[in-house]
């Protein structure tokens, strides 16, 4: 039998057939670390058909009977919907909210108009409290930064800052605003009298200045050097306990033989100079006495029956005293009381003529009293806080006031106008004084400095860093103004050259704050009173 080609068997020499069907993967040999899977038993829940047949046979409507359904409802195991539907709010993710807010901000930023003036852009940034420029930032980047800031805080913030600036400017203008009270008919008469009194004195002062200028410069320099040498040799001549409470003020009599002191106990005392013996005690005030001052002509040419002293206290009382009645008749009662102050009266000062008395009050005003007419002729406001000190020009034409608002004012008594506004101190002004030369004014403040103002230039010409604590008083030498005396809460008084304002001498000796100071008219003595209840007299060796 022969073989049939192509059907029965494989041809000799033909290639072997290759199967294209996928072969099952060969099982991996088990590794040593692999554990065999655990075999779990199948869970059988039972057939539901038999229970369903039983239910249908019993005629029940469900898997539970009526009683079972009722019990399940009462137990709260079955809740049946009432059919009410509540709309749920669409809560966005925080990321989506941030993205939307950023898009809104950019949209607002595109709608904000920013000035192209770089200076105005910087001013807006400063008003918003932002740095006006950043490192490497140009005008374009600065404008874009301002636009982005306004898109966050809103344009109203810039308007608010501008309103605050306008409000501060208005308040500053109010500080410089002057209020005028309607005075009595006698005020016009008093102003005319003051003009007739001051003009001849001004002419006399100018004539003396011309004569002084004719003195050779070498002679004037020699006299100044002798004075400075004498001032450098000042020493404590006398020290006396003035009262059981601190002393607040001291003042020399015009003849330089008496010294009046004011105490916090309400007493005013007169002391002999230079032996510092008690002459008389004036009892009339019931609270802290702020000041006591002699009449400009007392002990010199004043009639013995006239008023010789004036004092003021924290309760608003102002009392007038007669020296002869107090000393010779041993009277403790004042001659008269001046009423009308509703708040504390800090200082009193006589006008150089002796006819008028000036008082400063914590009701933001100062007043001028005509003692001949026995009435108040001027009630002047102008300070935003209490008025503390007052001084009169040597001619009698001007009055200077220093207030707790850190400002001073110079008033023309002949016209009633404020002719100069003393602005520059950082804290309250506690002392003011005119120089005998007629054009210099000194002020002492709580900022520890003493400023010297020129009435001709209408500005501050020098600031003396005088003390280490607040300055309580300033005094020019009363005859020629050759030196300036200052006292402060650093327990010292200091003497400064005029002009030049260089320190000459420090009067140290008090154990407490220097509350008051004065210079005798003869220029030989300096008095200081202190919180340590003592007053001291200083004189050259």
Q: What pLDDT score was predicted for residue 8?
A: 43
Helix (H, G, I), strand (E, B) or coil at 318: strand
Could you report the per-residue pLDDT of 254-313, keeping only the tens digit for each? Answer: 999 999 999 999 999 999 998 989 998 998 898 999 999 999 998 888 888 889 999 999
**In terms of Cα–Cα distance, which of 134, 110, 108, 111 is closest to 121?**
134
Angle at 477 between CA 441 and CA 453, to 5 degrees: 15
**In terms of Cα–Cα distance, which of 286, 285, 287 is closest to 309?**
285
Q: What is the 3-state secondary structure (H, E, C) of 155-173?
A: HHHHHHHHHHHHHHHHHHH
Domains of the chain, earliest start first: 121-153 (no CATH), 186-540 (2.130.10.10)
**In terms of Cα–Cα distance, which of 377, 335, 340, 336 is closest to 355?**
377
- Edge-first strand order for the sheet with 407-412 is 387-392, 398-403, 407-412, 418-423
**In terms of Cα–Cα distance, which of 437, 438, 321, 469 is closest to 450?**
469
pTM given for the model: 0.68
Q: Which residues of the chain have pLDDT under 50?
A: 1-16, 18-22
Q: Are 21 and 15 a contacting pair, CB within 8 Å?
A: no
CA distance 505 to 492: 10
Q: What pLDDT score was predicted for residue 347?
A: 94
């Amino acid at each position: 039998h022969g073989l049939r080609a192509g059907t029965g068997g494989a041809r000799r020499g033909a290639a072997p057939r290759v199967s294209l069907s996928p072969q099952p993967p060969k099982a991996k040999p088990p590794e040593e670390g692999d554990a065999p899977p655990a075999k779990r038993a199948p869970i059988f829940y039972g057939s539901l058909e038999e229970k369903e047949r039983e239910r249908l046979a019993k005629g029940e409507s469900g898997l539970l009977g009526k009683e079972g359904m009722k019990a399940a409802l009462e137990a709260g195991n079955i809740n049946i919907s009432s059919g009410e539907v509540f709309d749920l709010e669409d809560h966005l993710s925080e990321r989506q909210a941030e993205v939307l807010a950023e898009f809104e901000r950019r949209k607002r930023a595109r709608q904000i108009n920013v000035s192209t003036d770089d200076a105005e852009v910087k001013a807006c940034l400063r008003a918003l409290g932002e740095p006006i420029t950043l490192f490497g930032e140009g005008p374009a980047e600065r404008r874009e930064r301002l636009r982005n800031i306004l898109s966050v805080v809103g344009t109203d913030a810039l308007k608010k800052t501008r309103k605050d600036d306008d409000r501060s400017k208005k308040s500053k203008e109010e500080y410089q605003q002057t209020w005028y009270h309607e005075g009595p008919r006698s005020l016009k008469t008093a102003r005319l009298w003051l003009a007739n009194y001051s003009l001849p004195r001004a002419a006399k002062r100018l004539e003396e200045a011309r004569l002084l200028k004719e003195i050779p410069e070498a002679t004037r320099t020699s006299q100044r050097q002798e004075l400075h040498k004498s001032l450098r040799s000042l020493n404590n001549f006398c020290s006396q306990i003035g009262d059981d409470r601190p002393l607040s003020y001291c003042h020399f009599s015009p003849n330089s033989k008496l010294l009046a002191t004011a105490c916090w106990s309400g007493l005013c005392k007169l002391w002999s100079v230079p032996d510092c013996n008690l002459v008389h005690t004036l009892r009339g005030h019931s609270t802290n006495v702020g000041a006591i001052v002699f009449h400009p002509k007392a002990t010199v040419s004043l009639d013995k029956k006239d008023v010789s002293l004036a004092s003021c206290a924290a309760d608003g009382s102002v009392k007038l005293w007669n020296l002869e009645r107090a000393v010779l008749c041993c009277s403790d009662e004042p001659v008269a009381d001046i009423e009308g102050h509703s708040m504390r009266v800090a200082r009193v000062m006589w006008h150089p003529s002796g006819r008028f008395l000036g008082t400063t009050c914590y009701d933001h005003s100062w007043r001028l009293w005509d003692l001949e007419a026995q009435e108040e002729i001027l009630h002047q406001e102008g300070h935003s806080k209490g008025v503390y000190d007052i001084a009169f020009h040597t001619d009698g034409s001007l009055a200077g006031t220093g207030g707790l608002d850190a400002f001073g004012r110079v008033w023309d008594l002949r016209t009633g106008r404020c002719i100069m506004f003393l602005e520059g101190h950082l804290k309250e002004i506690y002392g003011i004084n005119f120089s005998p030369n007629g054009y210099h004014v000194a002020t002492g403040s709580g900022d520890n400095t003493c400023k010297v103002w020129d009435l001709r230039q209408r500005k501050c010409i020098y600031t003396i860093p005088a003390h280490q604590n607040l300055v309580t008083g300033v005094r020019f030498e009363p005859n020629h103004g050759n030196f300036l005396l200052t006292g402060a809460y650093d327990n010292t008084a200091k003497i400064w050259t005029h002009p030049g304002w260089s320190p000459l001498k420090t009067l140290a000796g008090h154990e407490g704050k220097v509350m008051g100071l004065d210079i005798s008219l003869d220029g030989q003595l300096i008095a200081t009173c202190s919180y340590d209840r003592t007053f001291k007299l200083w004189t050259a060796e």
